[in-house]
Amino acid sequence: MTIKNYKPVVIFLVLFLGVLLMSSCAEKSLVKIKSPKKAKIGEEFVVQKSSNRTPRWINEPEFQIVKIKGEKYIVVKVDVSAKDRRAAERLAEGELRKRVAEGIKTLVESQFSEAMSGTQESYSESFQSYVATVARNIPVVGLIVTDTYWEKIERVKSKNEVEYYYRIVKRARMPYKNYVESRDKAMQDVIAAIQNEADRAALEKLIEKIQNGENE
């Protein structure tokens, strides 16, 4: 066999050994824990987890606004369980988007409520519907998953039977400026659709108050 004919074989062996090495390293990075020999029915035990130390961030709030290196972010966290790990991963990612959408809605409502407090303005009964429309029409833009932690849990079903499921905790963040841009556009869309001039003027004042408060 010529040197040229050896080249494909050598390349294949290098790639194959690389895959084996990566798989071995990934397996070593997992933390396996032996469950106790004697356990009561209904008891649960962590038998495997993604890291040796349980990260502190899993105890953080589900929705918060934080500063990271001088930049504001909306940070969300979810904690889900499923029998299959891949299913749990997919479920967690879907729940992250749902959680940030719910948090944004609450954030908009609280910002309007704070802007309305202490004012002498009288608002029409339909005014709250404008606020609700703004909160409902803010898209989730630029959400990125930053951290994942998982555990494989053994549950004792009976004297001779156990079952397993996975707990997945994920954290993601979205630039606060993305929220502001989407919120302000939603506000302007609502203003453009308001027929009542008094309501339009009142909403514009509230929006200005909210925006000024963020720039302070």
- Residues 186-201 have pLDDT tens digits of 999 999 998 888 888 8
User: Does 93 score more than 90 pLDDT?
Assistant: yes
> What pLDDT score does 205 carry?
87
Taking 3-state DSSP, the helix, strand and coil percentages for the chain, each rounded to the nearest 5, stand at 50, 25, 25
Identify the pLDDT of residue 160.
82
130 vs 216, more confident: 130
Output the average pLDDT for the chain: 83
pLDDT at res. 129 = 86
Radius of gyration of the chain (CA): 26
Q: What was the pLDDT predicted at 124? A: 65
Question: Tell me: the pLDDT tens digits for 105-126?
Answer: 999 989 988 888 866 666 666 6
Does residue 4 carry a pLDDT above 90? no
Of residues 3 and 207, more confidence is placed in: 207
| pLDDT value of position 214 | 76
**pTM for this entry:** 0.77
Long-range contacts of 151-154 (CB under 8 A, 24+ apart): 151/46, 151/48, 151/49, 151/50, 152/46, 152/47, 152/48, 152/49, 152/85, 153/44, 153/45, 153/46, 153/47, 153/81, 154/35, 154/44, 154/45, 154/46, 154/47
